[in-house]
Structure 1
Amino acid sequence: MPHISSKKLKKETLNKLYSEFGKAFEKSARKSEAKFFLGDLLTKTEKIMLAKRFAIIYLLSKDVPVSYIAESLGVSYSTLSRMSLKYDIGKYSSLLKTLENNNNNKDIWRILEKILKAGLPPRAGRGRWKFLYN
């Protein structure tokens, strides 16, 4: 789990930070630099965590059984049930709408299919995610 400072920020400061982050990410996405932007900003653990969450949301939208998602992605049932509840109340609707409008939707499904058919790589070790890029 990523480390989060125990020092709390004021809500106003936090909202400004979110806003600036959103603007920076949006600019990088328009210039097709989002991959590098996130690569510089996130640790490997955070990237994997985000990728798994993204996959969970996408698979829930395709009515893939929860037990299959948990086994295939190696996520806990508590994480999956929490995300499933948020999905059910429409929490991820804007993300799903973006996915539906995205021309690269086939690429996303292809990557997820690789993961689901082959299973996830071992939890430890160098290069364990290389199979995604082959």
Structure 2
Amino acid sequence: MVNLSKIQIDDKKLVKVYQLMFEILNEADDKDDFLGIIKDILSPPEQLMVAKRIAIIYLLLKGIDQSTIAKYLKSSRATVAKFSLLFYDKESKLIGIIGELLNRETISNFFEDLFADIFISPGLKIGHWQMHWDHKRRQKERTMIDA
């Protein structure tokens, strides 16, 4: 549980604190730098909490039902329901970013399937069977996640 002081910070100071946080997070050049900064700032339970919240919103936008999300992420159904209500029919910046990720994922999956159908010819070239089965395995994993 996060321990917060009951003493409120005035708005000007809060803006400066958020600006400082933005500047620090903005210094990350790649994923490893970002994860290093996050590990320095947040405790492991806080990291897990933030990651689960984002995953819950992502899976809700994908259309996965709440009980499946709760079981998959090992969180309570009440937590999933809370985020479902918070982001139901709401257009926030986070929803926009996750929506773009879902669109890119759909497009990238489409192109991967298209190129696999065109270029992978098992039986014609040596090594294509392995690529064929790797592609089929990735397709099966995607359908398991989407289901």
TM-score bucket (shorter structure):
0.5 to 0.7
Map 1:50-129 → 2, pairs under 5 A: 50-88=50-88, 89-91=90-92, 92-97=94-99, 99-100=101-102
How many Å apart are 1:12 and its aligned residue? Answer: 1.7
Q: When the two structures are aligned, how many residues end up with a matched partner?
A: 107
Greater RCO, 1 or 2 (C-alpha within 8 Å, sep 6+): 1
Under a length normalisation based on structure 2, what TM-score does the superposition of the two structures give?
0.61
* Distance across 1 between alignment mates of 2:26 and 2:35: 12
Aligned AA (2:65) = P
Under a length normalisation based on structure 1, what TM-score does the superposition of the two structures give?
0.66
3-state DSSP of counterpart to 1:17: helix
- Higher alpha-carbon Rg: 2
Go from structure 1 to structure 2 and tell me whether the alpha carbon gap of 1:72 and 1:97 turns closer, same or farther (over 3 Å shift): closer
Go from structure 1 to structure 2 and tell me whether the alpha carbon gap of 1:68 and 1:82 turns closer, same or farther (over 3 Å shift): same
3-state DSSP of counterpart to 1:25: helix
Go from structure 1 to structure 2 and tell me whether the alpha carbon gap of 1:87 and 1:5 turns closer, same or farther (over 3 Å shift): same
Q: Where in structure 2 are there 5+ consecutive unaligned residues? A: 110-137
Aligned AA (2:56) = I
Task: Calculate percent identity across the aligned residue pairs.
Answer: 29
How many Å apart are 1:87 and its aligned residue? Answer: 2.1
Aligned AA (1:75) = S
Go from structure 1 to structure 2 and tell me whether the alpha carbon gap of 1:101 and 1:17 turns closer, same or farther (over 3 Å shift): farther
1:40 pairs with 2:44:
no
Q: Where in structure 1 are there 5+ consecutive unaligned residues? A: 118-134
How many Å apart are 1:47 and its aligned residue? Answer: 0.8
State the partner residue of 2:112.
none
2:52·2:73 contact (CA, 8 Å) conserved in 1? Answer: yes
Q: Normalized per residue, which structure has more helix?
A: 2
